[in-house]
Amino acid sequence: MNLKKKAFELRKDVVEMIYRAKSGHIGGDFSLMEILVDLYYKQMNLTPENFKDADHDRFILSKGHAIEALYVVLADRGFFPKEDLDTFGTFGSKYIGHPTNKVNGIEMNTGSLGHGLGVGVGMALAGKMDGKNYRVYVVMGDGEVAEGSVWEAAMAGSHYKLDNLTAFVDRNHLQISGTTEQVMNLKSQENRWAAFGWNVISIPGNDLDAVDNAVALAKKIKDKPTVIIAHTVKGFGVSFMEDKLVWHHRVPNDDEYQAALQELDRRGARYE
Ligand SMILES: [Mg+2]
């Protein structure tokens, strides 16, 4: 399947999961779907077969609340049966509302924000020390980069010249309690990361080709880590959810559920 269409099909799976469980973070899931699709279907050396090996690429979803997007991608890639997700959010299920390494394919428990990049730095440094060729990918939310620990990790990443590390900032300008600029001024991400010694690539983050080009470019950079500032739209794919704070954590009602699936169908069909 065309991967641009795939990103819309996977969003439909997210809608189904969240509608069924009556819980989830649909806006943030939709915001980063093109990033996940590019990494898991094109760029990463990470499969159900090599996940337990020492040489596979590492992925950390530091904005752990966007777990529904990661679950549907992992299921589609064969890390576990898709039917397992029918239990999402139910008592006793391991498919909970944040990443847990009890689930096959998940590297790190996340969701307490600000921790993923530091762990990613450690994994990338370990790879260098052990002479491994794996790469490390970390996806952060833009609200998340208000955490001080992110910037400690950023310093360490450039200090150790971790060119095997690529971070993303999902720059959708919204977080749980308002716009990012209301909560904590984050302008300009590009200048801030450059000042910390990172290679910076700025892209439209819901454009799969742009994501793919940026990830490929990052692989060629030597002696510095790369951050991809992905300018995205929260809720991307369903017009009434796009750039609307309420969809950070809202569950679609019956009418919204139907309308969302129909629009995702329609927009995905452009890529057949
Ligand atoms: Mg955000």
Q: What is the pLDDT of residue 215?
A: 98
Q: What is the pLDDT of residue 272?
A: 80
**Contact (CB, 8 A) for 87 and 74:** no
60 alpha carbon – ligand 1 mean position (Å): 17
> Does residue 232 register a pLDDT over 90?
yes
Distance in Å, CA 30 to ligand 1 centroid: 11
Q: How far away, in angstroms, is 32 Cα from ligand 1 center? A: 10
Ligand 1: centre distance to CA 271 (Å): 27
CA of 147 to the centre of ligand 1 (A): 13
Ligand 1 center–CA 128 separation, angstroms: 31
What whole-number distance in Å separates Cα of residue 192 and Cα of residue 171? 14
Ligand 1 centroid, distance to 122 Cα (angstroms): 25
Residues 6+ away with beta carbon under 8 Å from 148: 114
Nearest-angstrom CA–CA distance, 144 and 24: 18
**Identity of residue 20:** R
Ligand 1 midpoint to CA 142 (Å): 5
Domain residue ranges in the chain? 3-271
The H or E element spanning position 61 is: strand 58-61
**Whether this model's pTM surpasses 0.95:** yes
CATH homologous superfamily for the domain 3-271: Thiamin diphosphate (ThDP)-binding fold, Pyr/PP domains (3.40.50.970)
Distance 55 CA to ligand 1 centre (A): 31
> What separation in Å is there between the alpha carbon of 208 and the centre of ligand 1?
19
Do residues 84 and 75 touch, judged by C-beta distance below 8 A?
yes
For 74, 170, 226, 260, the CA distances from 147, given in Å and listed in that order, are 28, 15, 19, 33
Please check whether residue 128 is in contact with residue 159, taking contact to mean a CB–CB distance below 8 angstroms: no
Q: Which residues contact 151 (CB under 8 A, 6 or more apart)?
A: 196
Measured in Å, residue 130 CA sits from the centre of ligand 1 at 35
- At 241-253, the pLDDT tens digits run 999 999 999 999 9
Mean pLDDT over 187-191 rounds to 94
Note the pLDDT tens digit of each residue in 39-69.
999 999 999 999 999 999 999 999 999 999 9
Rounded CA separation 181/262 (Å): 33
Q: Looking at residue 1, what is its pLDDT?
A: 86
User: What whole-number distance in Å separates Cα of residue 6 and Cα of residue 98?
Assistant: 23
Q: Which residues contact 185 (CB under 8 A, 6 or more apart)?
A: none
Percent of the chain residues past pLDDT 90, beyond the cut: 97
Q: What is the Å distance from ligand 1's center to 82 Cα?
A: 27
Residue that has been written with the tokens 């589609």 in this structure: 76
Reported as a single tens digit per residue, the pLDDT across 74-124 is 999 999 999 999 999 999 999 999 999 999 999 999 989 999 999 999 999
What digits encode the pLDDT tens for the residues 263-272?
Answer: 999 999 999 8
Specify whether the CB–CB gap between 173 and 146 falls below 8 A: no
Q: How far is the CA of 144 from the centre of ligand 1 (A)?
A: 8
Determine the distance separating the centroid of ligand 1 and the alpha carbon of 109, expressed in angstroms. 20
* Centre of ligand 1 from the C-alpha of residue 143, in Å: 5
